[in-house]
Amino acid sequence: MNDADVAKQIQQMVRFIRQEAEEKANEISVSAEEEFNIEKLQLVEAEKKKIKQEYERKEKQVLIRKKIEYSMQLNASRIKVLQAQDDLVNSMKEAASKGLLHVSNDHHVYRKLLKDLIVQCLLRLKESAVLLRCRKEDVHLVESVLHSAKEEYADKANVHPPEIIIDNVHLPPDHVHHHAVGPSCAGGVVLASRDGKIVCENTLDARLDVAYRKKLPLIRKELVGLVAA
């Protein structure tokens, strides 16, 4: 083999090596680009996920805040309705209390009422001797019905007429006619056993309170539609 053949073979080997190197370099470049694209896609997807999570978090916060605000507004509305109901109920009771002040004006009607209230107390106490307390201005009316009240009780309970002592301490007067301050009483009586352990309060104010408590649920129910309207 002469020098020309040797040189030719060397050139062929160089071209082969160069081609191999170029192909390898292309493979490395393509692989690197693929890895870069994959990594870039992963980074983009991760960032998208992060943004989505942040958006969902903020959206949830907004929903929670709206629910809280709605709940607060609803509670405020309920409080206003309840307050309006209370105002109406209290005004009704106040009007009824003022109406009681005029019951004692009609002595004929009030006299019979006092007798009935005394009999009721006697039937509840079932005592042979009791202490009776009334307003100072009602003493003469109470004295006028005391005998008939004792007889009616004795007939209903099938017992002997009880002893009834009118207390020297009186119930407070009403404020309207006496311009007084402090406790007030529209009328009626309070009876107690002689030892004071058993008491029956049968004043007009006490009767109103009992009726008020019993009727309050029904009154509130009736007022729901009225307040809503």
pLDDT at 159 over 80: yes
Sheet with 163-166: strands ordered across: 163-166, 129-133, 188-193, 199-203
Confidence of residue 175 (pLDDT cuts 50, 70, 90): low
Taking all residues of the chain, what is their mean pLDDT, rounded to a whole number? 85
Q: 100-104, 105-109, 196-200, 221-225 — which is least confidently predicted?
A: 221-225
**Tokens 């190197």 sit on residue:** 21
- Provide the 3-class DSSP secondary structure of residue 172: coil
75-113: pLDDT as tens digits: 888 888 778 777 877 787 788 778 888 888 889 999 999
202-218: pLDDT as tens digits: 999 999 998 888 888 88
Confidence of residue 146 (pLDDT cuts 50, 70, 90): very high
What's the average model confidence in pLDDT over 9-32? Answer: 81
**Tokens 């030719």 sit on residue:** 8
For residues 89 and 215, give the distance between their C-alpha atoms in angstroms, rounded to a whole number. 11
pTM of the model: 0.62
Burial of 212 per CB tally in 10 Å (0-12, 13-18, 19+): middle
